[in-house]
Amino acid sequence: MSFVFTPPAVVGLAIAGSSELFPVRRVYCVGRNYAAHAREMGFDPDREPPFFFCKPNDDASIVPVPAGKTVGIPYPGQTANYHYEAELVVLIGEGGRDIAVEDAAKHIYGYAAGLDMTRRDLQMKMREQGRPWEIGKAFDFSAPVGVVRPRAEAGEITGGAITLEVNGETRQKSDIRNLIWSVNEVIANLSTLFMLQPGDLIFTGTPEGVGAVQSGQTMKVAIDGLEPISVRID
Ligand code: MN
């Protein structure tokens, strides 16, 4: 049987030191996972259970960013407050459900630097109205992701600097150690809600210092041990 039109291709992410690609399945994101960011968003950063939202997994939403290159993405419609969120992205290599925290690391294929781009005005409006966040979070070009560093090579990432610069000026600066819910705890919790599968991505949350970007500006996300990403707003 053939399809009535060509089905969309699976998004593949470049892997450091490999000619093979990492095939993307689902894209999960953690909300408010750094205390200082929770506070700047008007919330008490008490350790409540993590919460999750999703982004589309298609090639209109995910923007692979090659090493050493700047990729341009369009300024999206219907927003006047378009925000960056620098995040550590964790890539699942082995699926499972109800994964124990102490077993979580072996489910990780690798890591990458990413951006959870956000139409903040629309997200806030939906939040106030108790409506879903998709129009604020799950739009086209909203998920740039860099080159994948395999865990087999990088080891487990539990700390290290995470920074975001806009046109060379530092706007976000924190440490992966400051995650309220660690990577392994996030995997354990998420796996009670969804059956994780190889290819799943988890955006682990952003530190404080989120803010707006304009057309013509370039964002650079750097995380210790990972290939940085450079993304320009066209
Ligand atoms: Mn985020």
How many other β-carbons are positioned within 10 Å of the β-carbon of residue 1? 2
Ligand 1: centre distance to CA 228 (Å): 17
Ligand 1: centre distance to CA 3 (Å): 35
* β-pair partners for 133: none
Homologous superfamily in CATH for domain 12-233: Fumarylacetoacetase-like, C-terminal domain (3.90.850.10)
How large is the average pLDDT for residues 64-88? Answer: 98
pLDDT bin (cut points 50, 70, 90) of residue 47 is: confident
Give me the phi and psi of 173, to 5 degrees please: -155, 110
This model's pTM is above 0.85: yes
> Whole-angstrom Cα distance, residue 160 to residue 151?
15
Q: CA-based angle 82:87:90, to the nearest 5?
A: 135
Ligand 1: centre distance to CA 122 (Å): 14
Ligand 1: centre distance to CA 86 (Å): 8
Ligand 1: centre distance to CA 96 (Å): 24
- For 77-128, how does the pLDDT look when each residue is reduced to its tens digit (9 = 90+)? 999 999 999 999 999 999 999 999 999 999 999 999 999 999 999 999 999 9
Whether residue 53 contacts residue 47, with contact meaning beta carbons closer than 8 Å, is answered with no
Give me the phi and psi of 83, to 5 degrees please: -110, 150
Ligand 1: centre distance to CA 41 (Å): 12
- For 199-224, how does the pLDDT look when each residue is reduced to its tens digit (9 = 90+)? 999 999 999 999 999 999 999 999 99
